[in-house]
Amino acid sequence: MQKLITNILLLILSVYLIYWAHSHLDNYTLSILNNIGIFAILALSYNLINGVTGQFSLEPNGFVAIGAYTAALFLIPSETKMDMFALVDPAPVVMQMHAGFLPALLIAGVTASVIALLLSFPVFRVRGDYLAIVTLGFGFIIRIFAMNKPAYTNGAMGLNDIPGNANFLWIGLIAVITFVTMLHIISSRFGRAMKAVRDDEDAAIAMGVNTFWIKTVAFMTSAFFEGVGGGLLASFLTTISPDQFTFLLTFQLLIIIVLGGLGSMSGTLLATILVMGGMEWLRFLDDDMEIFGYHTGAHPGMRMVVFAILLVIMMLFARKGLFGDKEISDTVRKRIGRRQQTAGGDA
Positions that interact with other proteins (CB under 8 A): 26-32, 35, 83-84, 86-87, 148, 150, 154-158, 160-161, 164, 233, 237-241, 243-244, 279-280, 283, 286, 298, 300-301, 304
Closest CB 160 distance from other proteins, rounded Å: 4
Closest CB 77 distance from other proteins, rounded Å: 12
Residue placing its CB nearer to other proteins in the complex, 217 or 271: 271
Residue placing its CB nearer to other proteins in the complex, 301 or 345: 301
Residue placing its CB nearer to other proteins in the complex, 93 or 156: 156
Most distant CA pair in the chain, distance: 80
Closest CB 279 distance from other proteins, rounded Å: 7
Closest CB 286 distance from other proteins, rounded Å: 6
Closest CB 164 distance from other proteins, rounded Å: 7
Residue placing its CB nearer to other proteins in the complex, 28 or 294: 28
Closest CB 155 distance from other proteins, rounded Å: 6
Residue placing its CB nearer to other proteins in the complex, 161 or 330: 161
Closest CB 236 distance from other proteins, rounded Å: 8
HEC profile for the chain? CHHHHHHHHHHHHHHHHHHHHHHHCCHHHHHHHHHHHHHHHHHHHHHHHHHHCCCCCCCHHHHHHHHHHHHHHHHCCHHHHHHHCCCCCCCHHHHCCCCCHHHHHHHHHHHHHHHHHHHHHHHCCCCHHHHHHHHHHHHHHHHHHHHHCHHHHCHHHCECCCCCCCCHHHHHHHHHHHHHHHHHHHCCHHHHHHHHHHHCHHHHHHCCCCHHHHHHHHHHHHHHHHHHHHHHHHHHHCCECHHHHCHHHHHHHHHHHHHHCCCCHHHHHHHHHHHHHHHHHHHHHHCCCEECCEECCCCCCHHHHHHHHHHHHHHHHCCCCCCCCCCHHHHHHHHHHHHHHHHHHHC
Residue placing its CB nearer to other proteins in the complex, 158 or 263: 158
Q: Which residues contact 122 (CB under 8 A, 6 or more apart)?
A: 134
Residue placing its CB nearer to other proteins in the complex, 139 or 155: 155
d(CA 215, CA 221): 10
Residue placing its CB nearer to other proteins in the complex, 152 or 212: 152
Closest CB 238 distance from other proteins, rounded Å: 5
Closest CB 233 distance from other proteins, rounded Å: 8
d(CA 70, CA 75): 9
d(CA 195, CA 217): 13
Residue placing its CB nearer to other proteins in the complex, 195 or 303: 303
DSSP classification of residue 294: E
DSSP classification of residue 159: B
